[in-house]
A and B are shown apart, each in its own frame.
Chain A
Amino acid sequence: MSSITRRRALGVAAGAAGAAAGLALAGQAVAAPRAAAPAAAPASFDEVYQGRRIKGGPSGGGHHGGHHGGGYSVTIDGEELHVMQNADGTWISVINHYEPVATPKAVARAAVRELQGAPLVPLTLA
């Protein structure tokens, strides 16, 4: 497990425009100075979005081995969504791997839209 410096993505709307805001941020965040000390993890969340229960927060022990959210985990209806934080603080998931967004909640919501109701299958890492 890599030790990814977590940085709170400040000032980004977490509403329906979250994904779009994240895209805009992704182009600029590279220039933002990295915090010298690890900043606080992104806020936890727990909500129903388009009929799916999405949760995010610091991961306890016992999660699957292949995720790189830097100690932060996201689930959709109880199944873990593999998420990863980029060096500029943006986030991606295995469902939306090539399009960074600003926050773990935005990445969970993007996954819900992409899944169109389909269940996640348990993570495997060959």
Chain B
Amino acid sequence: MTVRKNQATLTADEKRRFVNALLELKRSGQYDTFVTTHNAFIMSDTDNGDRVGHRSPSFLPWHRRFLIQFEQALQSVDATVTLPYWDWTADRTSRSSLWAPDFLGGTGRARDGQVTDGPFARTGNRWTINVRVDGRDYLRRDLGAGGRQLPTRAEVDSVLAMETYDMAPWNSSSDGFRNHLEGWRGVNLHNRVHVWVGGQMATGVSPNDPVFWMHHAFVDKLWADWQARHPRSTYLPAAGTANVVDLGDTMRPWNDVTPADMLDHTRHYTFDTAA
């Protein structure tokens, strides 16, 4: 059974296996197909048009399915690997072991934002940025630039307290749990973390940085935590909503999976702590 663990608790061997599986997916070309898919949805999801991956109720089930697919790709390389999650309310500085050279490497250098240590530094020749929106082919970060702060546990708890999953108009202006977790409204959780990391993580091609998966694995865990707190609340909208994925509608690009299929994560994996 797949158990997703807090990245801070991984052993040296677990980190090494996770990194090696990432590098192998990159080498084989599979990794970049995930970046391409994400960017296509980022660019096409709009507040007043069709929206599936972002700024819509299906933000959470879409990313859950996307991460399951990615985790399965990792496991095809090394069956012992699972996606770790990054609790950015706890590991909230650039001095966290997450950013050490034996794991993701650190922030970028001042001159050009280039990450210069760790397995994903351009100089190691194993992590070229191919799917990109500008001319730079090296991984960049600017952790906590300008004194930005990651969300606090209290801010997360304030969002987990929201009983209603999502609300009309089902986009970036909605009230409710989903949009507050996504961050277009209110204290800003998910969006703010992308901005805090900087570099490619702040762009439409954000999965170029491996921390993307750990960030979204934690966002996904927060959805599970919310479900546990609000057993009488469920995914909305139920049916008949233009441009929006209703509970029983299939989601692009898979076209064979619905939000209803994604509500129970325990069919696919569990977490190292009770949700």
Q: Name A's B-contacting residues (CB within 8 A).
A: 1-5, 30, 66-68, 82, 84-88, 94-100, 114-116, 118-121, 123, 125-126
Contacts and interface: CB of A to CB of B under 8 A. Distances in A.
A100 B191 CA distance: 10
B202 interface: yes
A97 to B, nearest CB: 5
Contact of A95 (B46, B48, B134): B134
A120 B43 contact: no
A120 B195 CA distance: 20
Q: Helix, strand, loop or mixed for chain A's interface?
A: loop
Contacts, number: 96
Contacts of A96: 202-203
B113 A95 contact: no
11 contacts: A1-B49, A2-B46, A4-B47, A86-B55, A87-B48, A88-B172, A97-B203, A98-B191, A98-B194, A119-B135, A121-B134
A2 B25 CA distance: 35
Given A119-B134, A121-B132, A121-B135, A66 B173 contact: no
A35 to B, nearest CB: 14
Contacts of B48: 2-5, 87
A125 B41 CA distance: 9
B173 A30 contact: yes
A121 B133 contact: yes
Nearest to A3: B48
Contacts of A2: 46-50
B108 to A, nearest CB: 10
Contacts of B112: 116
A37 to B, nearest CB: 15
A121 B248 CA distance: 38
Interface string B107-133: 000001100000000000000000011
Contacts of B47: 2, 4, 85-87
Contacts of B204: 82, 94, 97
Given A115-B134, A116-B112, A126-B37, A95 B203 contact: yes
B61 to A, nearest CB: 20
B184 A86 contact: yes
Given A116-B112, A116-B113, A119-B135, A126 B203 contact: no
A25 B112 CA distance: 30
Interface string B8-41: 0000000000000000000000000000110110
B134 to A, nearest CB: 5
B185 interface: yes
B82 interface: no
B46 A114 contact: no
Contacts of A114: 202
